[in-house]
Amino acid sequence: MKKMNSRIPTFMTVLLIALLCACDPFAEYGGKLSKPKEACVDLSDQTLTKFDDELSQILFRYLAGNPRWEIREERGVRYAVRLERVDGEFETTMNGFYSTHENDAWRQTRVLISFGKEYGFGRERGNITRTKAGERDVSVIIEGEHSGTPGNSSYTIIAGGAIILEIYDQVPEIARNFTQQAFNEVSAELKDVFAHREEIEKSGILPVEEHYPKPLPMKNYFEIKDGMQPGIYLIAAAVGPTEPGFAYVKAFNVKTGKRLSEERMTPRSVRYLGWSYDGTTLFHYGSEVTVYEGDWSSTYEARFELWHRTKNGTEKKLAEKTILINGWER
């Protein structure tokens, strides 16, 4: 099993510490807020504003079928997480945060596109910058270093039409280079979605290869890998749904038949998938799940199953695999 590594998001670390201490993770939690001129960004590109309800559904289908993105749902909000590279591969994380530690400096980022209403960022302390696409000079609120968050952090929510771009940027510098870069990259990708909306409606695929980090799969697979700690697992699959819907993971103790961690595993593993009318096009699925039954000192057999649910509620098992697992312990 993998040991905890330096890529664990610092935000998650704070929450884990809080759980261990049985305390409020946000109590007396926050840094000094400011709007330094070095943190100004240019959001004058107006592509986000072109996406009304109809176009946002086309975007939804495209993002669901692109392995660089994952569409999730939480608190009634559907949102897409942009995956970033971990050890050279675009890899899912539990909360969409990506963290690196190089040359004694922490950097942590997250890029979301939310549909209809914003997803947000924890408790607000005046630390969120709300703006809209089309604004040229936007002063981003910077939160200074504080407990659990080294460096200068910001959370920028950029409203478009029926979609919202949300960018978390935590780096040693004041300048919001990642925020600017992410806005530019997403705007460019949305331009291509807008230009090729008819092709996406037919196939679910954007005919611009540069936006896909790897080719779509050519054959079905279902893989389960160790996550950052024993009891945490990375699920990856290639499937070919013929209707819109989402996939999710079930797990069972092979010996007892008992379903494992149902209340937590199901919502955390929900991912909306791409689809094609004939089912011949395969799309990637990925999620990170935690099994809470058991501990790090012993293993047992568990069967993982991948299920797909359509809009009308029809469910179908797509794949299954049995492996030896640990339970996660605090």
Q: Is the pLDDT of residue 82 over 70?
A: yes
Establish if 203 belongs to a structural domain.
yes
Predicted TM-score of the model (pTM): 0.82
Q: Are 229 and 3 in contact (CB under 8 A)?
A: yes
**Residues 68, 40 share a domain:** yes
Q: What is the pLDDT of residues 6-29, one digit of tens each?
A: 344 444 444 443 333 333 333 356
Nearest to 116, CA basis, from 53, 172, 158 = 53
CB under 8 Å, gap of 24 or more: what pairs does 170-173 form? 170/10, 170/106, 170/107, 170/108, 170/109, 171/105, 171/107, 172/105, 172/106, 172/107
Residue 184: the pLDDT is 98
Residue 29: the pLDDT is 65
Q: Are 115 and 78 in contact (CB under 8 A)?
A: yes
In three-state form (DSSP H/G/I as H, E/B as E, the rest C), the secondary structure along 40-56 is EEEECCCHHHHCCHHHH
**Residues 99, 163 share a domain:** yes
Residue 169: the pLDDT is 98
For residues 36 and 41, give the distance between their C-alpha atoms in angstroms, rounded to a whole number.
Answer: 11
Q: What is the pLDDT of residues 197-229, one digit of tens each?
A: 999 998 999 999 999 988 889 999 999 999 989
Final residue of a domain: which of 184, 211, 238? 211
**Residues 289, 320 share a domain:** yes
**Residues 225, 207 share a domain:** no
For residues 180 and 41, give the distance between their C-alpha atoms in angstroms, rounded to a whole number.
Answer: 6
**Residues 229, 147 share a domain:** no
Establish if 192 belongs to a structural domain.
yes
Nearest to 113, CA basis, from 65, 182, 37 = 182
**Residues 178, 292 share a domain:** no
Question: What percent of the chain is modeled with pLDDT above 70?
Answer: 91
Establish if 50 belongs to a structural domain.
yes
Question: What percent of the chain is modeled with pLDDT above 90?
Answer: 77
Residue 16: the pLDDT is 42
Other C-beta atoms lying within 10 Å of the C-beta of residue 321? 14
Q: Are 121 and 168 in contact (CB under 8 A)?
A: yes
Q: Is the pLDDT of residue 175 over 60?
A: yes
For residues 72 and 270, give the distance between their C-alpha atoms in angstroms, rounded to a whole number.
Answer: 6
Establish if 231 belongs to a structural domain.
yes
**Residues 182, 266 share a domain:** no
Element (H, E) at 74: strand 69-74
Nearest to 250, CA basis, from 237, 225, 269, 234 = 269
In 291-314, which positions are buried (b, 16+ CB within 10 angstroms) versus exposed (e)? bebbeeeeebebebbbbbbeeeee
**Residues 296, 196 share a domain:** no
- Domain CATH code at residue 285: 2.60.40.2550
Confidence of residue 45 (pLDDT cuts 50, 70, 90): very high
**Residues 225, 206 share a domain:** no
Q: How far is CA 301 from CA 31, 289, 293, in A?
A: 46, 16, 12
Establish if 54 belongs to a structural domain.
yes
Establish if 298 belongs to a structural domain.
yes
Final residue of a domain: which of 164, 189, 211? 211
Query: φ, ψ for residue 298 (rounded to 5)?
Result: -145, 160
Residue 314 belongs to domain spanning: 221-325
Q: What is the pLDDT of residues 269-327, one digit of tens each?
A: 999 999 988 888 999 999 999 999 999 999 999 999 999 999 899 999 999 999 999 99
Establish if 4 belongs to a structural domain.
no
**Residues 197, 94 share a domain:** yes
**Beta bridge mates, 322:** 303
Count structural domains, the chain.
2
Establish if 127 belongs to a structural domain.
yes
Q: In the numeric block, which tokens belong to residue 65? A: 């079928």
Residue 251: the pLDDT is 98
For residues 111 and 164, give the distance between their C-alpha atoms in angstroms, rounded to a whole number.
Answer: 11
Final residue of a domain: which of 152, 176, 211? 211
**Residues 225, 190 share a domain:** no
